[in-house]
Structure 1
Amino acid sequence: MRLILYSKPGCHLCEGLQEKLEKIPNLSFELEIRDITTRDEWFGAYQYEVPVLYLSDTEKDIAEQPLPRPSPRATVQQLEQMLSKYISNNQKNDAE
């Protein structure tokens, strides 16, 4: 499972979310950081929206799915709870 974080340099909300994601203890995922300033299409899509999170699993052919924006005030535990719902839903769908 992969989480994709669209971010840009100097974005304090992006940095805060990245730090929290890296501290989540009980979920297994790869965190990919995409700097929107490196591609015009990313910049055009997310310049006013960052941070933006997507869930993907190329091994199970799950295309990138947007996730709701977590509150900047969310704790690591709250973020973990929110993400676990989406990760477990994708795992359930794979089992069916």
Structure 2
Amino acid sequence: MIGTLAWPPLILYSKPGCHLCEGLAEKLWQIPEIPALEIRDITTNSTWWERYQLEIPVLSLAMDPERPLPQPSPRLTVQQLRTWLEKQLTSCQY
């Protein structure tokens, strides 16, 4: 929880064989505050491919409109990623 707010669902833009994407997804699954994580394969959608092919992994808040987050370091531990996410969510005031 951030204050009294529940965390929003997240979207992870990824593609098969992306080790950075797989590592980030594995860590995100271990953070209990995340209510839902949707993983979107950019190779299945031309719009996603055009937008994210050189930037994956891309983590976004599943809101309307979506809110992409800065890319976290792949070196973060699960706890560091949780703290980083909490800071991102607090600063964007979703």
Aligned positions, number: 87
Relative to the length of structure 2, the TM-score reads: 0.83
Greater helix percent: which structure? 1
Secondary structure of 1:24 counterpart: coil
Gaps of 5+ in 1: none
Whether 1:32 and 2:34 are equivalent positions in the alignment is no
What is the match of residue 27 of structure 2? 20
| Distance (Å, rounded) in 2 between the aligned partners of 1:34 and 1:17 | 13
Q: Which runs of 4+ in 1 moved over 4 A?
A: none
Whether 1:83 and 2:85 are equivalent positions in the alignment is yes
What is the match of residue 8 of structure 1? 15
What is the root-mean-square deviation of aligned Cα atoms in Å? 1.6
Read off the aligned partner of 1:8 and give its amino acid letter. Answer: K
Greater strand percent: which structure? 1
The answer on whether the counterparts of 2:10 and 2:34 sit within 8 Å (CA) in structure 1 is: no
| Distance (Å, rounded) in 1 between the aligned partners of 2:34 and 2:91 | 14
| Distance (Å, rounded) in 2 between the aligned partners of 1:19 and 1:28 | 13
Read off the aligned partner of 1:39 and give its amino acid letter. Answer: N
The Cα offsets for residues 52-76 of structure 1, whole Å up to 9 and x where unpaired, read as 000124xxxx421110101110110
| Distance (Å, rounded) in 1 between the aligned partners of 2:15 and 2:29 | 17
